[in-house]
Amino acid sequence: MKAAAIGQFLLLIMACSAVTCSSADANETDLLSLLDFKRSITLDPQQALASWNHSTHFCSWEGILCTTTSPRRVASIRLERRGLVGQISPSLGNLTFLRNLSLATNRFTGGIPPSLGHLQQLQYLFLSNNTLQGTIPSFANCSRLRVLWLHRNGLVGPFPTELPPGLRQLQISVNDLAGTIPASLSNITMLDAISCADNHFEGSIPDEFARLQNLQQLYLGANQLSGRFPRAIMNLSALTDLSLALNQFSGVVPPDLGSTLRNLLLLELPVNFFQGVLPEWLGSLENLQKISLGSNFFNGTIPSSFSNLTQLAELNLESNRLVGKIPPSFGNLPILKVLNISNNNLYGSIPKELFRIPTIVQISLYVNNLDGMIHPDIGNARQLTDLQLSSNNLSGEIPTTLGNSGVLENLYCASQIALHEQQQAHSSSLHII
C-alpha cells in the first residue's frame, strides 16, 4: 500500500517536471524567435527594439503582448510606423500562439516568409506599406486568419488563391500582381472587403462573385479588366463601396442596378468606355456620398433626380458627352463639396443656386458652352477655393461679391470675363488664369 502511494507520488513529480520543461521550452522558443527577428533589423531609428534584451521578460518588451495564462506566450506583435529597415525573419513562424502581427508602414524588404502560413492562431496580418517583394505565400493553413493586408508593396505573381475560408478582408492593392481574378475567390463567402486596385489584372470579373453576399467594399480600379458591366455585382446587395475606375469596361450600366445596390455610398466608374445616358436610378440611392463617372462616353442630360442625393459630397461627370443645362436643383445638395462637370457640351447660364451650397469647395465647369454672366450670389460661397470657368462663352465682369470668399485660391476664367480691380487686390494668394 505504501509502495503504491510512493509510486503515484513519483509519477506526479515526473508529470509536473514534464509540464515545467514544456513551459520552459515554449518560452525559450518565443524568446529565441523574437531575438532572431531583432537580428534581422538593420536600422531602428526610433529605438523601438531597445527594450528587447535579457534584462526583462519578453512579455514586457515594446510592441509585444502575451497571453494571460501560464506559460505566457507571444500573442501580438505591433511595430507599425517605426521606420524599421530589414527583412522579416522566418523565425516568426515559430510563434505558435501569435494572433496579431502588424509590421505595416516600415521599410521591410525581401519576401514574405512562407513560415507565416503555418501560424494556425493568426487572425490579423498587416504587412502593408513596405517594399516587400516576391510572391504571396500560402495562407490556407491559417484557419483563423480574418484580415490580410499586403497593399503598397512590390509583390509579384498571380492573384493569391491559397487563402483560408474564413477570411474577411483582403487588401493587395498597389503591387505588381498580374493574371486574372480567380473564380475560386468566391468560395470565401465571409469576405466583406476586397481591394486589388493598382495591379495588372486582366480579363473579366467572375460570375461566381455573385456568391459573395457579405461583400461591402470592392476596389478593382487601375487594372486592365474588361468586358461589360459585371453582372455578378448586381447581386451584391450589401455593397457600399464600388470602384471599377481606370479599366477597360464598356457598354451601358445596367438600368436595374439601382434596385439591388441600395446601400451604395461610393460609386467610381471613371476612365472606362461606358456609354449611354446617365442612370436616372442613381438619384434614388439616397445614401450616396461620392459619384465619379468621368472620362467615359455618357450622353444625354444630367438627371434632375441627382438633386435628391442629400448625402452627396462629390459629383464628378467630367469628360463625357453630356448636353443640356446644369440643373438649378443642384443647389439642394446641402453638403456638396466638389462639383466637376467640365469638358462636356453643357449650355445655358451658371445656376446661381450652385453658389448657395454652404459647403462647396470646388466648382469645375470649364470646356462647355455656358454663357451669360456670373451671378452676384457667388459671394455666398464662403468655402470656395477653386473656381474653373475657362473655355466657355461667359461675359461681363466677375461680381465684386467674389471678395467675400476669403479662401479662394484658384480662379480660372474665360478671357471674355473682366476682373474688377477690387478682385485683383482682394488676395495676394489668388491664382488667376
Q: What is the per-residue pLDDT across 98-135, written as a single tens digit (0 to 9) for each?
A: 999 999 999 999 999 999 999 999 999 999 999 999 99
Mean pLDDT of 357-363: 97
Q: Count the residues in the chain.
A: 433
Average pLDDT, integer, range 256-271:
94
Q: Which pLDDT belongs to residue 15? A: 43
Separation between Cα atoms, residue 354 and residue 108, nearest integer Å: 49
Confidence (pLDDT) at 414 = 59
pLDDT for residue 286 is more than 80: yes
Which of helix, strand or coil describes residue 408?
Answer: coil
Rounded mean pLDDT of the chain? Answer: 91
- CA 209 – CA 317 distance, rounded (Å): 28
pLDDT over threshold 70, residue 10: no
User: Residue range 357-378: average pLDDT?
Assistant: 95
What percent of the chain has a predicted confidence (pLDDT) above 70? 89
Poorest-pLDDT segment among 26-30, 274-278, 321-325, 387-391? 26-30
The whole-number pLDDT of residue 19 equals 41
Report the amino acid identity of residue 104.
A
CA atoms within 13 A on the CB side of 6: 3
Percent of all residues in the chain with a pLDDT value above 90, rounded to a whole number: 79
What mean pLDDT do residues 160-165 have?
97
Which pLDDT tens digit goes with each residue over 26-68? 588 999 999 999 999 999 999 999 999 999 999 999 999 999 9
Q: What angle is formed at CA 148 by the lines to CA 146 and CA 151, rounded to 5 degrees?
A: 155
Q: What is the 3-state secondary structure (H, E, C) of 296-342?
A: CEEEECCCHHHHHCCCCCEEECCCCEEEECCCHHHHHCCCCCEEECC
Its pTM stands at: 0.90
CB neighbours of residue 15 within 10 Å: 10
**pLDDT reading at 255 higher than 90:** no
**CA dist., res. 27 & res. 57, Å (int):** 10
What is the average pLDDT across 306-323?
A: 98
Provide mean pLDDT across the span 240-249.
98
By CB atoms closer than 10 A (0-12, 13-18, 19+), residue 296 is: buried
Res. 201: pLDDT tops 70 = yes
In this model, does residue 428 exceed pLDDT 80? no
- For the chain, give every domain's residue range: 325-433
pLDDT category at 396 given cuts 50, 70, 90 is confident
Give the pLDDT band of residue 405 (cuts 50, 70, 90). confident
Q: Quickly state the pLDDT bin for 24 (edges 50, 70, 90).
A: low
Task: Please answer whether residues 297 and 274 qualify as being in contact, where contact means their C-beta atoms are separated by less than 8 angstroms.
Answer: yes
Confidence class of residue 175 from pLDDT cuts 50, 70 and 90?
Answer: very high
Cβ pair 330, 354 in contact under 8 A: yes
The whole-angstrom distance between residue 43's C-alpha and the CA centroid of its chain comes to 29
Asked if 265 contacts 243 with a C-beta cutoff of 8 angstroms, the reply is no
Residue 137 CA to residue 145 CA, distance in Å, equals: 14
Say if residue 20's pLDDT is above 50.
no
Q: Does residue 9 have a pLDDT over 60?
A: no
Average pLDDT over residues 289-298: 98
Alpha-carbon gap, residue 112 to 178, rounded angstroms: 18
- Residue 427 has what pLDDT? 47
Which pLDDT score is estimated for 431?
59
Domain 325-433 has CATH 3.80.10.10: yes
Predicted confidence (pLDDT) at residue 402 exceeds the cutoff of 80: no
Q: What pLDDT shows up at residue 249?
A: 98
| pLDDT for position 432 | 60
Task: Say if residues 109 and 86 touch (Cβ distance below 8 Å).
Answer: yes
